[in-house]
């Protein structure tokens, strides 16, 4: 049994989805599942489910929703009362698809073999069935959680692309990276990966055009220039530097760095997402 959050919220029993009826009930289950094995206070459940519009009877209603959810989960002990709230315990090491995704991403990131990285990260990305917590959109607490899960997906996709570039799958990646660059016009790592894929596919001019387009966007929208690692990548493309060849390419262009390391300061780093560069 597992609660799925990476898309519409439901319960998976023997590989068969079991829906949860009602927005508020779904919200209570999702709030508990986002913190499996930990006590979630009634106050937090009320805030997550109703926000600032909670009725005086909200705590009693939460108790009623928990009773319903125990029926959906087929076990009363699946949701245990623990002061000051409730705890979700499905008796599984990974009670949610989020936990599985986080494990696969961690294993992928830690592996030195690009084949293993690609396999783990591909399996993680496949767990997303659409927008996380889809039917809870518009509830402020869940919107924040969904944003975190969307960022986790983006990071996994970038790491997967890096592994596939290391495997020499450059030409196959160009369409996906082109789409990503349009969706994230300020994201330096996406543009660095697209430049590298285009260059290795023999499209040097298009790789340089990607850099120039990003530079104009950063200047026009943020008043900053590309980070030094990305400028170094442009120079390497211009020089047809052997370091960009699949066998000898430095992984520095493929690794995400901390936001504070991005050129342009902390504000720019937050807007750009992850830059292409060294840790």
211-240 pLDDT tens trace: 999 999 999 999 999 999 999 999 999 999
The reported pLDDT for the residue numbered 247 is 60
Nearest-CA neighbor of 49 among 59, 39, 38, 35? 59
**CA 44 remoteness from chain centre:** 24
Pairing between strand 39-41 and 85-88? antiparallel
| Segment holding 88, helix H or strand E | strand 85-88
- pLDDT band per the 50, 70, 90 thresholds, residue 21: very high
Pairing between strand 79-82 and 85-88? antiparallel
CB 145 within 8 A of CB 34: yes
**CA 152 remoteness from chain centre:** 2
This prediction has a pTM of: 0.81
Q: What is the pLDDT of residues 138-153, one digit of tens each?
A: 999 999 999 999 999 9
Contacts of 16 (CB under 8 A, 6+ apart): none
The reported pLDDT for the residue numbered 116 is 96
Cβ neighbours, 10 Å, residue 72: 19
Residue 187 in this model has a pLDDT that exceeds 80: yes
The reported pLDDT for the residue numbered 114 is 92
Nearest-CA neighbor of 77 among 68, 65, 92, 87? 87
Q: What is the pLDDT of residues 44-92, one digit of tens each?
A: 999 999 998 999 999 999 999 999 999 999 888 999 999 999 999 998 8
Contacts of 169 (CB under 8 A, 6+ apart): none
Give me the percent of the chain exceeding a pLDDT of 90. Answer: 81
What is the C-alpha separation between 74 and 76, in angstroms, rounded? 7
Residue 254 in this model has a pLDDT that exceeds 90: no
More confident residue, 264 or 193: 193
Give me the percent of the chain exceeding a pLDDT of 70. Answer: 88
Residue 268 in this model has a pLDDT that exceeds 80: no
Name residue 39's beta-bridge partners: 87
How much is the mean pLDDT over the chain?
Answer: 88
Residue 266 in this model has a pLDDT that exceeds 60: no
Nearest-CA neighbor of 273 among 151, 157, 128? 151
The reported pLDDT for the residue numbered 271 is 37
Helix and strand element counts for the chain (H, E): 11, 6
Residue 41 in this model has a pLDDT that exceeds 50: yes
* 143-147, 157-161, 186-190, 254-258, range with the lowest pLDDT: 254-258
DSSP state of 112: S
Which pair of structure tokens corresponds to residue 129? 């069935």
């Amino acid at each position: 049994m597992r609660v799925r959050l990476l898309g519409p919220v439901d319960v998976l029993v023997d590989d068969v989805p079991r829906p949860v009826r009602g927005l508020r009930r779904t919200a209570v289950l999702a709030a508990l599942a986002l913190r499996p094995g930990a006590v979630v206070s009634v106050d937090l459940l009320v805030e997550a489910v109703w926000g600032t519009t909670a009725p005086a009877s909200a705590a009693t209603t939460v108790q009623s929703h928990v009773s319903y959810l125990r029926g959906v989960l087929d076990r009363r002990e699946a949701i245990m009362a623990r002061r000051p709230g409730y705890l979700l315990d499905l008796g599984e090491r990974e009670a949610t698809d989020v936990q599985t995704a986080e494990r696969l991403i961690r294993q992928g990131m830690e592996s030195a073999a690009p084949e293993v990285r690609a396999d783990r990260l591909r399996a993680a990305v496949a767990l997303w069935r659409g927008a996380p917590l889809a039917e809870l959109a518009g509830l402020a607490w869940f919107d924040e959680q969904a944003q975190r899960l969307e960022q986790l997906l983006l990071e996994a996709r970038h790491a997967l692309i890096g592994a596939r570039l290391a495997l020499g799958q450059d030409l196959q990646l160009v369409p996906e990276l082109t789409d990503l660059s349009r969706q994230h016009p300020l994201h330096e790592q996406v543009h660095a990966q697209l430049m590298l894929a285009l260059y290795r596919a023999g499209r040097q001019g298009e790789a340089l055009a990607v850099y120039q387009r990003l530079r104009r966007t950063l200047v026009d929208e943020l008043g900053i220039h590309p980070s030094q690692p990305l400028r170094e990548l442009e120079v390497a493309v211009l020089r047809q530097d052997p370091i960009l060849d699949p066998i000898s390419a430095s992984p520095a262009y493929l690794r995400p760095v901390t936001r504070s390391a991005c050129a342009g300061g902390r504000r720019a780093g937050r807007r750009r997402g992850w830059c292409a560069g060294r840790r």
